[in-house]
A = this chain, B = another copy of it.
Amino acid sequence: MDCLEAIATRRSVRHFSDAAVTDVEVETLLRAAMAAPSAGNQQCWRFVVIRDAETRARLAVATPYGAPMGRAPLGIVVLADTAAETFPGNWANDCAAAVENLLLAAHATGLGACWLGVHPGDEREQAVAEIVGAPETLRPFCMIAVGHPDAPGPAVDRYRAENVREDRWS
């Protein structure tokens, strides 16, 4: 799929068909995620791929927005190893860029995915960390539900000219 088309037509997908997500598809998504830029190229992102239904069911109720984790055939928990940061404090920015790459790669390959927020939110982070067995230096950033879209949604135009100014805001 063309890059600009993928960016323009990507939607959050929260309902999925029964079709499985293959190991090859998962690697494509993770390769896309790790191709993202990061502060000083620190690449401190980490990924836990969740196929186990019981673990997904626990994650689905670990945050107020987690429900798609229980419905999708596969989930990915994105974390950052803060001990591996060379530019401290940038881990969340880096993870967000990686997640956006992953969401676009999912859409471009016929999958659907949804970014389920964890960070910021101490309680949510702690709950997710416990479920996936993350040590203290590994901070959960978000969860991503992944599967084949049940019913692909239409593209949405979010362009707002009023969000843009020239040379100065005011």
Q: Interface on A for B, CB 8 Å cutoff?
A: 1-8, 10, 12, 28, 30-32, 34-37, 39, 43, 45-52, 55, 79, 87, 89-90, 92-93, 96-97, 99-101, 103-105, 107-109, 115, 117, 119-121, 132-135, 138, 142, 158-160, 163-170
Contact = CB atoms under 8 A, between A and B. Distances in A.
Q: Among A4, A34, A135, which residue has the most Cβ atoms of chain B within 10 A?
A: A4
Most buried by B among A3, A48, A52, A100: A3
A47 B2 contact: no
A47 B166 CA distance: 9
Contact of A89 (B28, B30, B120): B120
Main secondary structure, interface of A, reads mixed
A105 to B, nearest CB: 6
B117 A90 contact: yes
Contacts of A30: 159, 163-164
Contact of A135 (B35, B43, B48, B170): B170
